[in-house]
Amino acid sequence: MRNKLVKTISNTFAALTTAATAMSLMFPATAFAEYKLNLQIPNSALGHTIYDLHTIITWVCVVIFIVVFGFMFYAIFKHRKSVGHPASNFHEHFWVEVAWTIVPCIILLVMMVPATKALIQLRDTSEPDMTIKATGYQWKWGYDYIKGEGEGISFYSSLSTPRAQIEGTEKKGEHYLLETDTHVVVPVGKKIRMLVTAADVIHAWWVPALAVKQDAVPGFIRDTWFKATEPGIFRGQCAELCGKDHGFMPIVVEVKTAADYSKWVDSQKASMKKAAVADAPDKAWTLDELKARGEKVYAANCVACHQPTGMGNPPTFPALSGSKIVNGPKEEQLDRVLNGKAGTAMAPFKHLSDADLASVITYTRNSWANKTGEMVAPADVKAARAATK
């Protein structure tokens, strides 16, 4: 019976081997060229350290696996009952127990040395060339350049993948769900310190190729760093389950040469100055101007939950079209958009500018089935902010 079982297993293994060989002939290796079984190619010295450490430890694990299971299978095969090997009766062996305690400890200590060096290097955020604060929101990232050549630059970075691709009505692009309307731009060869926090729930700022990953926790500021070795564009994502659109808040870091970075800084500061003039507190807005701007703000911040038609997805995401709040006193809607509603998916949008908040509220109050004919001015938003402080 035992010999018949062994023969059956052998025949089965041979059949599987033949099938695998046939499949390898039918599907050439080029068919699997897009599949990668390792970490992303790093673009920082720290990334190379982590990559090499991962490779070394992986091979140590492979050697241990081969030695342990090789010995186990050899012992089972060589000392099986069918060849007449008598069963041994023993309970312990002092030197064997010493060996299988000491040897693993030595292996762990050897692996600990490079791992500890890498961990210390990973946490060394001292003497940065520039500092950027990243704030996680549901569901986008806000960036403030607070030290270095770009000091004073601030912007928000949102997913730019078209809704048609997300909804499956268009073919998905090359960087589906990994593209943003604004990139984080840094110079090559400079140590970048990232201060990471969150405004609502836990997020995580993660760019694998730069070997940087840090949780963003509300009420806390954590720091990490990276130094890119080559210019290029490197993509990452929020790595914490932060809510409905968790998969829709990517990170794009664009590494430029020193000269190109200086040009980007100049253009950003010029754009910010122009925007400050356009959104001056004493500017007189018309209803049509606010609606036009509000439509863009709505598409960037509200459409995922409340839908382009304003019909939402009840009960989690209520309709704005025909809503009692939207069609009621504007102060109530302003408070809801500014401060959110606890216990629901409605997050606060205090991070948007006064002009953006005023325009999106005006847009919703005068779109779809809503015909209030009223507008909310940036001055109204500014007053509401002051009242909540």
What pLDDT, in 10s, does the model give residues 243-286? 888 999 999 999 999 999 999 999 999 998 888 887 877 788 89
What are the angstrom distances between the C-alpha of 174 and each of 8, 164, 169, 196? 48, 14, 16, 28
Distance CA 250, CA 271 (A): 23
Strand residue runs (E) in the chain: 130-137, 140-147, 154-157, 184-187, 192-198, 203-207, 212-216, 222-226, 232-238, 250-256
Smallest CA-to-CA distance from 216 within 136, 123, 140 is with 136
Is 117's pLDDT higher than 70? yes
Q: Which domains does the chain have, with CATH numbers?
A: 38-124 (1.10.287.90), 130-278 (2.60.40.420), 287-388 (1.10.760.10)
Q: What is the pLDDT of residues 209-250, one digit of tens each?
A: 999 999 999 999 999 999 999 999 999 999 999 888 899 999
Q: pLDDT band at 11, cuts 50/70/90?
A: low
Q: What is the pLDDT of residues 132-181, one digit of tens each?
A: 999 999 889 999 999 998 999 999 999 999 888 988 899 999 999 999 99
Residue showing tokens 């509300």: 218
Q: What is the pLDDT, as a whole number, of residue 93?
A: 82
